[in-house]
A and B are shown apart, each in its own frame.
Chain A
Amino acid sequence: MTASAHMQAPDTDPGYNFAYLDEATKRMIRRTLLKAIAIPGHQIPFGAREMPLPYGWGTGGIQVTASILGPDDTLKVIDQGADDTTNAVSIRRFFHRVAGVRTTTRTAEATIIQTRHRIPERPLTEGQVMVFQVPMPEPLFKLEPRLAETRRLHALGDYSLAQVKLYEDIARQGEGGSSYSHPVMVNHRYLMSPSPIPGFDNPKLHMSPALMLFGAGREKKIYAVPPYTSVVSLDFDDHPFRPVRAPHACAACGSTTSYLDEIVTDDRGGRMFVCSDTDHCAENQMARKAAE
């Protein structure tokens, strides 16, 4: 599959409004996005609509993307870091069909990157917007399932529940318990779920030049991290947060710094490790070939 295959048919499906959502819905989401940007890390309820894709499969991210997307944009969609995973393909096809928008697999070319569970390895730029698909926006939900209560705790800035949990994890097992969805403090005020990205990606949120938007469709919440905003993973001074990756080199491009997928190669314990970010891996391989 190549990026150009998606760029040949700019016509949109005439049965639907540009980018699927009706204009009243887009306005409601846009107003919510502006407030989300003005209050970094604060979850804002919004009237999420039923989308033609199931809840839990990116409906929040899709509604955010549909509300910001324009004809000048170039869209990249990744799932688990890869452009060619089936759900990423499905969402990219959806936007190609209803918005006729240019799509790409190249991180460098994209103006909007919708993602599930990863942030690209290539540093983002000021011209880019990340849209995260979020299954559970509430960072405290495992500790307190009642939304009326967590809303109160956020208002008070009372995050002692999360700190106690982290403390207990460290006391019991020597380190924090969460390997992905590790909560972050945004602009020193709100505790926020970074979505189920691996902890490895958390530092990429801090002072990023790109705008980060988060959409949770089923839970009907939108939140945002503006560019150049402090984002600190929850930790303790004597147990600082450590982003973790598999201690190997990518079998395809040789990278020793990228986040790796573990591939089971046989039933005798054979393993190999390759980049989860397929575009980054392809770029590395090209560069290596050019150097040879």
Chain B
Amino acid sequence: MYVAVKGGDAAIAAAHAWLAEQRRGDTALPELSAAQVAEQLGLAVDRVMAEGSCHDRELAALAIKQARGDLIEAAFLLRAYRNTLTRFPAAEPVDTGAMRVRRRISATYKDMPGGQVLGPTFDYTHRLLDFALLAEGEAPTPPEESEATGAPMPRVSDILAQEGLMRREPPGDDAPPPDLTRDPLPFPAPRALRLQSLARGDEGFLLGLGYSTQRGYGNAHPFVAELRMGEVEVLITPPELGFPISLGEITVTECQMVNQFAGQADTPPQFTRGYGLSLGHSERKAMAMALVDRALMARDLGEEVTAPAQDHEFVLLHADNVEATGFVEHLKLPHHVDFQSELEKLRSIRARWEAARNGVAEAAE
């Protein structure tokens, strides 16, 4: 007598207990605190905040700890949490021109007002494993001048705009921007929604797409006009007050990428801008986003859409790693009902095929 497999409840509980044990690892070693993750794995926290669309270092660190360092799983945890939060009024646009800059570089000018600020970067490090880090207890010596000079740092794109060489962004209206997290994406997607989608998109996916535009899939000739990272103030204007108040500062990375544009009958040749903005310190993400943003403008600019990075649906519907991982991993769920009908279908088609072949063979004899 066949008895169906049962006990899903117990199996799930046991699997989750095992997971918790694996997460903790060897108890002879001290437990990692969320604060340690936030301080010492800060770029992982930044990525989780960006892709989890939620700026909270402590919760992002907790998510990384809970997810055993799986950053996509951690971003998913943060997103699901974010979704249960009460929504306050939308913040004022952050002013990255007024950023308290920690790092700011331009590839298009040797020098400009405010200067180049190298800041904390992997650039120019030699990628040699530092075995000294295996030993613990060493506190690195702080650099002699750790703060930027405080001189004003106008955005490089504004300098180009003064000369009239930068394409003017179409003026916005006063309507509040659409919100990707409340309404589904329409296609073709307006730029505000594209940027929202890219800002929370998977770093690896955008990196690959951005890279593809450099290799001929999308005809881009990008220059980093400016990459800046630092702290910006977040302001909200409560309707009952009528004036903006500060909620505090967050770290963001902004990339403005300029590209030449041939122009059209009614538009002079000029530079166009690809824009990238990411929560936390995440240069690769901001740069890849800027490349893809520019590629997605092809349609608006009347350029021919030929490359994957220029295709709104292809890019925006596949950039979200929480959606992507869910659907890819759902293949682990049982599919035996569909598979059974597939089996019966294949058996039936195979029988027809064999009958037909035998028929041909008999006819030939």
A contacts, CB < 8 Å to B: 1, 16, 20, 22, 45-52, 54-57, 59, 79-82, 84-90, 93, 116-118, 135, 145-148, 173-175, 177, 179-181, 196-200, 218, 220-221, 244-246, 251-252, 259-263, 272, 274, 276, 278, 281
Contacts and interface: CB of A to CB of B under 8 A. Distances in A.
Interface of A is mostly: loop
A54 B336 CA distance: 20
Interface of B: 1-2, 4-9, 11-12, 76, 79-80, 82-84, 86, 181-188, 313, 317, 322-323, 325-330, 333-338, 340-345, 348-349, 352-353
B341 A180 contact: yes
Contacts of B1: 252
Question: Among the interface residues A1, A173, A260, which one has the most CB atoms of the partner chain B within 10 A?
Answer: A173
A1 B7 contact: yes
Question: Among the interface residues B8, B9, B343, B348, which one has the most CB atoms of the partner chain A within 10 A?
Answer: B8
B342 A85 contact: no
Contacts of A59: 326
Contacts of A262: 336, 340, 343
A117 to B, nearest CB: 5
Given A80-B337, A117-B335, A173 B352 contact: yes
Nearest to B80: A52
B340 A278 contact: no
A196 B182 CA distance: 27
B337 A276 contact: yes
Given A54-B329, A55-B326, A199-B341, A175 B12 contact: no
Contacts of A252: 1-2, 4
A246 B330 contact: no
Nearest to A48: B184
B330 A57 contact: yes
A246 B80 contact: no
Contact of B327 (A177, A218, A276): A218
A127 B322 CA distance: 36
Given A244-B348, A259-B337, A85 B327 contact: no
Given A50-B322, A87-B334, A274-B2, A56 B329 contact: yes
Contact of A1 (B8, B86, B186): B8
B349 to A, nearest CB: 5
B353 to A, nearest CB: 7
The 10 closest A-B pairs by CB, nearest first: A55-B326, A56-B330, A54-B326, A179-B345, A89-B8, A179-B341, A198-B341, A56-B327, A220-B184, A45-B184
